Amino acid sequence: MLQAKLLDFLFENRLNDSKVWFGEHREEYKEFVEAPVKELSQALLPVITGIDDKIDKVHVSRIYRDARFCKGKSIFRENMWCSYSRVKDLYKALPAFYFDISANGFEYGCGFYSASTECMNALREMILANSPLYAEAEEALKKQRTFELYGDMFKRDRYPEESEEKKKWLNRKTVGVTALLTDWELIFSDKLAAKVGRDFKKIAPVYKFILQAGEMGQKLTEEKD
């Protein structure tokens, strides 16, 4: 179970931003951050595999950033995240389920980390062809109030003739759904896994729609190579 001490440690660790300080407090990290985050990630894994049985593992973030990409940034993260995907590399074509814990709250959802052009083109083709998978995803979104679509929008509307319902998908550069939970009493309780698991099931049709686009885009990319 997550505890408030997790956020306390992340704050102190980020504030000190020191490998020496972290080394001196490594046991606190293991107890209050690493262990409970891994416990939660494993508790949610059966829900994820129930949605996609080709996902068999979870990727838990490290507490520190890749030195190659942290110029001008602190070495240590202010958050911890986990992802569930068929591929370890989130820059690949397939989408993932995820959760992230920080002082901002508990964020969770599913979608592309950064969709390729091929993936988004495949997704748009499915929408324009009124794919049943798209219809199921849209219906699942309408039935709930927890998640909202994410993904940067094009500055210009590229599909002016389409419905507003379709345009909110068509005009994105990447896509997924996300939710932010700020009820700290719930976050730091033994009810969190059950709540997130139920919510993941609600958006399973969204994941399956996006996954199909990812698989189609991946195939197109491989054919080009």
pLDDT of residue 92: 65
Q: Apex CA 180: angle with CA 137 and CA 30, to 5°?
A: 115
Dig out the tokens for 175 from the structure: 């896509």
Q: Say which residues have a Cβ less than 8 Å from residue 132's Cβ, sequence separation at least 6.
A: none
Name beta bridge partners: 82: 60, 99
Summarised one tens digit per residue, pLDDT across range 197-225 is 999 999 999 999 999 999 998 877 666 65
Q: Alpha-carbon Rg of the chain, whole angstroms?
A: 19
pLDDT of residue 177: 98
Q: Apex CA 203: angle with CA 198 and CA 208, to 5°?
A: 130
Q: 4-224, which class in CATH? A: alpha beta
Cα separation, 225 vs 39, whole angstroms: 40
Q: Apex CA 123: angle with CA 162 and CA 208, to 5°?
A: 120
Decide: 111 and 150 in contact? Cβ < 8 Å.
yes
Summarised one tens digit per residue, pLDDT across range 99-134 is 999 999 999 999 998 888 999 999 999 999 999 999
Cα separation, 142 vs 163, whole angstroms: 15
Dig out the tokens for 12 from the structure: 């102190």
Percent of the chain residues topping a pLDDT of 90: 82
CA-closest candidate to residue 170, choices 187, 154, 192, 194: 154
Decide: 128 and 224 in contact? Cβ < 8 Å.
no
Q: What are phi and psi of 128, to 5 degrees?
A: -65, -25
Reduce the DSSP state of residue 199 to 3 states and report it.
helix
Cα separation, 171 vs 183, whole angstroms: 32
Decide: 81 and 101 in contact? Cβ < 8 Å.
yes
Q: Model pTM?
A: 0.93
Summarised one tens digit per residue, pLDDT across range 30-89 is 999 999 999 999 999 999 999 999 998 899 999 987 666 556 567 888 999 999 998 876
Cα separation, 40 vs 42, whole angstroms: 5
